Copies of this chain bind each other. A is one copy, B any other.
Amino acid sequence: MKRIYMDHSATTPVDPLVVDSMLPYFTEKFGNASSLHSFGQEASEALSTARQQLAESIGAKTDEIIFTSGGTESDNLAIRGVLEKKNSGKGKDQHIITSLIEHPAVLSTCSFLESIGYDVTYVPVDSEGILDMDEFENSIQDNTSIISIMHANNEIGTIQPIREISKIAKENDIYLHTDAVQTFGKIPVNVDDLGVDMLAISSHKIHGPKGAGALYVREGTDLEPFIFGGGHEQGLRPGTENIPGIVGLGKAASLAKERLGNDPEHMLKLRDSLISKIFDSIEDVQLNGHSEKRLPNNVNLSFKYAEGESLQMLLDVKGIAVSTASACSSKSKKESHVLTSIGVDTDYIHGTIRISLGKDNTMEEIDYVAQSLKESVDKLREMSAISKC
């Protein structure tokens, strides 16, 4: 069976060009970048090149790139790095502003910080997922140290007005971090245009390898590491550098930048075609998120009378990979905090799936997926005890 992958927000296949770029660093140029000898120098040159590629792709300086193990670690480093920095003089009397719909990498970090004494405000969003700017501005305190607002949401694809947020952050002299894990490669990501002090990237979301990520840290931003060891990555990220992973990330970043003129447009066309096909053929369905300020590859749908996991599984049986927002667990059905925050109706919330497109998806696939989705929804509704309530 031919399989169709439409879960690119979860992870992406590594680009063959990226794999090729990585291969020499496993068996031939395998040195430790800290070593002075020729093997080490090969590694450290590769590291520099990757740093340059990544820096260029987001309009940063090479010194402003800290390589990490992934998006989660980058988010942790940004927020905790600022708060835990020594000589801040403020200790735990510091305040963090974030949103209700951040990724767990940010939310769990914030709730950990809350548990040890920091003060956190979770700013709400409107029904399309856009940050409530009034509440945001009102939440600023004298002791606010950092604002962390994601560039675009991983579930519903809503893009936040980071530039506006940045203006307010700057007026108040507060560091701004943005989680750009879902935007990089899909919409332009330039650190100066966005006006951010920190920005998180994850390699495996941009056709790079898993196990690599980066944090952009604007020159002059004072950070402490939160993992301790050798002095790698300007003292901010110890541990022997994952050279093949970082090389792959560098290559993936420069490819993503190059393709920004084509890939997103292609995905957008597929996205809009899929949405209209679904709305034409299926009743009682809604699109979650924003109609325009939306990632070009994100389709988040809620169906009445058809449960998300079951829908996802029926599609999987047909060879189609999408994701479901609501996950069953032993205690109770966990509802997505994002869907709850934008106020999705109970009738709809359990019937949610996310379809996230990639550059290699085709219009033919879109047709098949739309058709399969209709069949699957019909089948589940047929089976459902509440479809006629």
Residues of A within 8 A of B (CB): 3, 5, 7, 10-14, 16, 18-19, 23, 26-28, 30-32, 34-40, 69-73, 75-76, 103-105, 108-109, 111-112, 202, 204, 209-212, 226-231, 238-245, 309, 312-313, 315-316, 319-324
A104 surroundings in chain B (CB, below 8 A) = 228-231, 238
Give Cα A37 to B229, complex, Å. Answer: 38
Given the interface contacts A70-B240, A239-B71, does A321 sit within 8 Å of B229 by beta carbon? no
Q: Tell me which of B7, B39, B112, B240 contacts A210 (CB under 8 A).
A: B240
Q: List 8 A-B contacts (CB under 8 A).
A: A5-B39, A7-B40, A70-B242, A104-B229, A104-B238, A105-B230, A202-B240, A209-B244
Give Cα A69 to B209, complex, Å. Answer: 13
Closest 8 CB pairs of A and B: A211-B242, A72-B239, A69-B69, A108-B228, A105-B229, A37-B321, A72-B229, A14-B26
Contact B35 A7 (CB under 8 A): yes
Contact A39 B7 (CB under 8 A): yes
Closest B residue to A9 using CB positions: B32
- Taking the closest CB of chain B, its distance from the CB of A214, in whole angstroms, is 13
Closest B residue to A211 using CB positions: B242
Most chain B beta carbons < 10 A, residue from A75, A108, A229, A230: A229
A210 surroundings in chain B (CB, below 8 A) = 240-245
Closest B residue to A29 using CB positions: B13
Contact B76 A321 (CB under 8 A): no
Q: Tell me which of B108, B209, B226, B323 contacts A26 (CB under 8 A).
A: B209
Contact B16 A27 (CB under 8 A): yes
